[in-house]
Amino acid sequence: MAPRSPSARSAQKLFDPAILGRAALDAVTKLNPRTLARNPVIFVTEVVSLGVTVLWIRDLATSGGQALFSGQIAFWLWFTVLFANFAEAVAEGRGKAQADSMRRTRSDTVARRLATLDATATEAVEALSLREGDLVLCEPGDLIPSDGEVVRGIASVNESAVTGESAPVIRESGGDRSAVTGGTMVLSDRIVVRITAAPGASFLDRMIALVEGAERQKTPNELALSILLSGLTIIFLVVCVSLWPLASYSGTALSVTVLVALLVCLIPTTIGGLLSAIGIAGMDRLIRFNVVATSGRAVEAAGDVDTLLLDKTGTITFGNRMPSEFIAVGGVPEQDLAEAVLLASLSDETPEGRAIVALCRSRYGLAEADIAAATIVPFTAQTRISGLDVGGRELRKGAVESVLERVGIAPASAPADFRAAVDRIARTGGTPLAVSDGRRLLGVVHLKDTVKPDIRARFAELRAMGIRTVMVTGDNPVTAAAIAVEAGVDDFLAQAKPEDKLAYIRREQAGGRLIAMCGDGTNDAPALAQADVGVAMQTGTQAAREAGNMVDLDSDPTKLIEVVGIGKQLLMTRGSLTTFSIANDVAKYFAIIPALFVASFPQLAALNVMRLASPQSAILSAVVFNALIIVALIPLALRGVAYRPVGAAALLRRNLLIYGVGGLVAPFIGIKLIDLALSALHLA
């Protein structure tokens, strides 16, 4: 199945002229030694570049014949440092472009604040003056002033400023689709929003900081590789310093410029110059797939995930349980059942209640009745029943077990047609609601939670990547099994409470597995926080978004396929370029070492397999190639090595064949071509 393409907002060219211009300036700014000290390889290169530049100035002053040679070496060393900085600056620039786009969505919004939920008068205030807990009224055309939760009403909201998707979404009070984001626009109806974010701490503010890289820290893998590169740099520094007295003893005079050239060519400047860009580009690729990662560690962990837990409602399914049919029992006419269901649902402000009222109107032609004199019985988590008392009737609608208990009927003693209807609904993955009038059962309402389209194929794709999918839900085992079969998950956890999800994740982690969790509700927050990769849906609650270490702006649980692919791609890119960089040194060895000692040891001419024109040409060609290869690999570092869902052994063979052998062969060809060009131009 083809991967999801990034949104129009985030689909940028690899090298945008505006980004390149800013990156060029940033590359010069990054020459500050305090900035470069974070990258030991390039820091050492800058220090020795400065030293060779001083020697070049000395050679110019003394009119020595070495001025042309040392000047060219100095130029290419600075070129190496600048383009290493440029690679990082381009990666950062793509993130800054994202941040600028988000920043433009904010304006000096004026909010209409309400004193209380039932107030009719509003007070116009600046959005930045709003505090947590404030109530604001939003109508069509209004920008939602800050992050919050809908506490009254339902509206269509345009979230393209955040997600880049033009299709509006529905936000309503009650349930897990009540969260709204500052900067998005209300398109229809009116809603009352309770502000949940302090000024400057909204979701959009945090996104801007994240995509700019202000809070990005090196991951454990990146730190380990940095230590390895630092170690190699120290080793080759000691080797080059030791080589000077050894060369003098053998009768070979080595200049500081030549030793610096040898050092820069042997230390892993290629991966050192691209390492930071690879990490930043990995997070940038997530953003282009509309996933914001709050942790670079989570991006890497995604590459090793082997178990994925998904909350059913709102994640695997749309979460809007829609009534599909009314099933009358005990000889009750279906029209009478529909009238009773309508009355019992008129005061029900949940999405299901509103959907039932709409079905009664459209299918049965029923009009709303006057319930001003009725006594409303609100739904509570304890009773799991709602309804009203009107005209001497006690109409109730709710969970089957709760309604049966109210009418005084044991589940096993319920009428046969009632049990048959409940069982049929449960087997098909629906949710049955019992309806009663006093002590009499009237029938069952079939609520159906629709599985998201194409999700089965996406789960099959995850399975091919070696990831096991587990659905967690509060539904009964029969309903959970039906949804699991329809969605194509590998396993399910039914009647799961928040502590059950948490215990399951801890048990799997204790077995050495890396767990990813997708969820959108407040009850998912503990599991999202415990998981190695916690992907919260943008449509979810504030608690879920804060608990996860990634937020999916498209609210697509199967987006984890892209997240895992990007995580694996990040690790592969880093490993591939490290292999290429170290393999490069072998060719540089064959270019420089014979050139240094061939005068004292003519036998070393046998190592000059490239038949380079002169010792100076060999050294300069190696330095030029060392600089240009960084430029050539910048697109690969930013785009990443292509990932295919194949076994680890196949990936290793491919990596060694392409980047190991390629890293050995490419420098021989490149250095020889540069040598021919330098000889033709009489530059060496």
**Residues 624-672 pLDDT 10s:** 998 999 889 888 888 888 777 666 677 778 888 888 888 888 888 988 8
205 annotated ligand-binding residue: no
Alpha-carbon gap, residue 45 to 260, rounded angstroms: 9
Tens of pLDDT, residues 440-486? 999 999 988 777 777 888 888 888 878 899 988 877 787 788 888 88
User: What pLDDT, on the 0 to 100 scale, is given for residue 490?
Assistant: 92
Q: What is the mean pLDDT of residues 415-426?
A: 90
Tens of pLDDT, residues 491-510? 998 888 778 888 899 998 88
Report in angstroms the alpha-carbon separations of 462 from 147, 297, 354, 549. Answer: 33, 21, 36, 20
Tens of pLDDT, residues 275-293? 878 877 777 778 777 787 7
Topology of domain 299-317+452-563 in CATH is Rossmann fold (3.40.50)
Q: For residues 165 and 206, is the Cβ–Cβ distance under 8 A?
A: no
User: What pLDDT, on the 0 to 100 scale, is given for residue 273?
Assistant: 85
30 annotated ligand-binding residue: no
370 annotated ligand-binding residue: no
490 annotated ligand-binding residue: no
Alpha-carbon gap, residue 288 to 214, rounded angstroms: 18
Q: Which residue has the tokens 């509309």?
A: 290
380 annotated ligand-binding residue: yes
Domain with residues 321-450, CATH architecture: 3-Layer(aba) Sandwich (3.40)
- What's at 241, amino acid-wise? V
63 annotated ligand-binding residue: no
Q: What is the mean pLDDT of residues 319-337?
A: 86
User: What pLDDT, on the 0 to 100 scale, is given for residue 419?
Assistant: 92
DSSP assignments along 44-57, one per residue: HHHHHHHHHHHHHH
Q: For residues 552 and 260, is the Cβ–Cβ distance under 8 A?
A: no
The domain ranges of the chain are 107-202, 299-317+452-563, 321-450
379 annotated ligand-binding residue: yes
Q: Is there a catalytic annotation at residue 311?
A: yes
Longest dimension (CA), the chain: 115
- What's at 2, amino acid-wise? A
Residues whose CB falls within 8 Å of the CB of residue 151, separated by 6 or more in sequence, listed in order? 117, 135, 173, 178, 192, 193, 194
Which of 59, 134, 205, 311 is flagged as catalytic? 311
Residue 381 buriedness (CB in 10 A; 0-12 / 13-18 / 19+): exposed
Tens of pLDDT, residues 105-121? 554 568 899 998 888 88
Residue 29 buriedness (CB in 10 A; 0-12 / 13-18 / 19+): exposed
Alpha-carbon gap, residue 397 to 329, rounded angstroms: 15
Residue 222 has pLDDT above 90, yes or no: no
Share of the chain above pLDDT 70, in %: 86
Q: What is the mean pLDDT of residues 557-570?
A: 79
Q: What is the mean pLDDT of residues 59-78?
A: 83
Tens of pLDDT, residues 3-55? 343 333 333 455 667 777 888 888 888 888 888 888 888 899 999 999 999 98
User: What pLDDT, on the 0 to 100 scale, is given for residue 684?
Assistant: 60
- What's at 546, amino acid-wise? E
Whether pTM exceeds 0.85? no
Question: Which of 381, 384, 385, 356 has its CA nearest to residue 445?
Answer: 356
What backbone phi and psi angles, to 5 degrees, belong to 83? -80, -25
Alpha-carbon gap, residue 266 to 300, rounded angstroms: 29
Residue 539 token pair = 């449509």
Residue 346 buriedness (CB in 10 A; 0-12 / 13-18 / 19+): buried
Q: Which residue has the tokens 């990258």?
A: 39
The reply to whether domains 107-202 and 299-317+452-563 share a CATH topology is no
Tens of pLDDT, residues 145-197? 888 899 988 888 877 655 544 457 788 887 667 888 887 888 878 899 999 88
User: Please, which pLDDT band fits residue 223 given cuts at 50, 70 and 90?
Assistant: confident
Domain with residues 107-202, CATH architecture: Distorted Sandwich (2.70)
Alpha-carbon gap, residue 499 to 525, rounded angstroms: 11
381 annotated ligand-binding residue: yes
Residue 209 has pLDDT above 80, yes or no: no
